[in-house]
Structure 1
Amino acid sequence: MRKVRLFIAMSVDGYIGDRNGGVSWLNGQGEDKENIDTYSDFVKNIDTIFMGWNTYHQIVTELSPKEWVYNGFTTYVITHHKRHSAGEIHFTDENPVKLLKQLKLQDGKDIWICGGANLLRQLMDANLIDQYYISVIPTVLGGGIRLFGELDKEQKLSLVKTQNYNGIVELIYEPR
């Protein structure tokens, strides 16, 4: 069965977006050349991306408006906005828990939960996250979009791996 992996960055105080939803703060404490490319390693085992509308919209309007940065991946955008699916991008208003359960049973590589917070909460409440890759960025935002927010129940995790570079601490957890 395919695994579902969250791969996301947050501020030291637990936010994935600033008060305006922005992510310009996503960098280390020094120069980029000090960063380790953990993303390339992560995506070697991924062929499907799952994201909410706000994450999709931010990617195509702010982060990479000229080209789709996830070419080669089948992407599901959970949204109530009526959009036509094209190529590898599938817009759907299907229940994300039900859809993800179906995708897990299909052949393929693992599934990446790319964001956002509302979608993540629904999947966590259904115990569908198999691994949490969380990069803690050396910034305190003081407010914004919380990574986890309110959950229906406690989620106990086991720390599997840590590494740090350029002030960023990467944590990998699995459910206990």
Structure 2
Amino acid sequence: MRKLKLHMNLSLDAYVARPNGELDWMTWDEDDKLYEFINSLIDSSDTILLGRKMTDGFVNYWENVVNNKPASPEFSLAKKMVDTPKVVFTKTLDKSTWNNTTLAKGNLAEEIANLKKQNGKDIIVYGGAGFVSSLIKEGLIDEYHLFLNPTAIGNGMTIFKSLDRTQKFSVIQSRFYFCGITVLSCKPKND
């Protein structure tokens, strides 16, 4: 069965965005080793999951790199992000306006279970905060890859507030990168 993996940036105080979704606090000068790890996550997946609210920014950002910045160090990653099929979870849209995307409108747990049963590589989710909170609450994420940025922002959006119980994790690995980001990879313990 395919695994659902989360790739999410966090501040030191465990926020994933400022209150209005701003990401200006994130470390943007990733080093080559971190890019290798990010590429390995997307290479192990053949489906990207997104919440509706963040899809425009995500798709537009990566398409802009592919269409307008072929010399960018992000170009090969951007190409993967654009080429990988995306499933956008929404309750409000009836038609996808983005390239290479389909909509998922049903019960979250059932939709994820159906995706995990399909043949193929793993599935990766990038956000947004509300969507990821729903996945966490339902216990649907198999691996967490949390990119801890060396910044505290004091207030913002979190992904763990929906938990109504203590969730313990087993650490898969922890790596520090010279750009200042530490990646904590872990999986939920099912006690």
TM-score, normalised via structure 2 length: 0.81
Query: Is residue 81 of structure 1 aligned with residue 80 of structure 2?
Result: no
Query: Is residue 159 of structure 1 aligned with residue 159 of structure 2?
Result: no
| Unmatched segments (≥5 aa) in structure 1 | none
Query: Is residue 131 of structure 1 aligned with residue 143 of structure 2?
Result: yes
Q: CA deviation at 1:35?
A: 5.9
Which residue of structure 2 aligns with residue 57 of structure 1?
Answer: 56
Q: C-alpha root-mean-square deviation of aligned residues, in Å?
A: 2.2
Task: Give per-residue Cα distances to partners, 1:156-176, cap 9 Å, x unaligned.
Answer: 101110111122111000111
Matched-pair contact (CA < 8 Å) for 1:96–1:119: no
Partner AA of 2:161 in structure 1? G
Which residue of structure 1 aligns with residue 27 of structure 2?
Answer: 27
Which residue of structure 2 aligns with residue 149 of structure 1?
Answer: 161
Question: Which residues in structure 2 correspond to 1:75-114 (within 5 Å)?
Answer: 75-85=86-96, 87-114=99-126
Query: Is residue 174 of structure 1 aligned with residue 184 of structure 2?
Result: no
**Structure 1 residues 60 and 81: CA distance shift in structure 2, 3 A:** farther
Q: CA deviation at 1:91?
A: 2.2
Partner AA of 2:144 in structure 1? Y
Q: Runs of 4+ in structure 1 displaced over 3 angstroms?
A: 31-35, 63-69
Task: Give per-residue Cα distances to partners, 1:104-151, cap 9 Å, x unaligned.
Answer: 011010011211222222222322211100010011011111132231
TM-score, normalised via structure 1 length: 0.87
Higher strand share: 1
Higher helix share: 2
Of residues 58, 63, 66, the one that matches 2:64 is 66
Q: CA deviation at 1:45?
A: 0.6
Question: Percent identical across equivalent pairs?
Answer: 28
**Structure 1 residues 87 and 20: CA distance shift in structure 2, 3 A:** closer
Matched residue count: 173
Partner AA of 1:95 in structure 2? N
**Structure 1 residues 46 and 139: CA distance shift in structure 2, 3 A:** same
**CA distance in 2 between partners of 1:46 and 1:92 (Å):** 18
Partner AA of 1:66 in structure 2? N
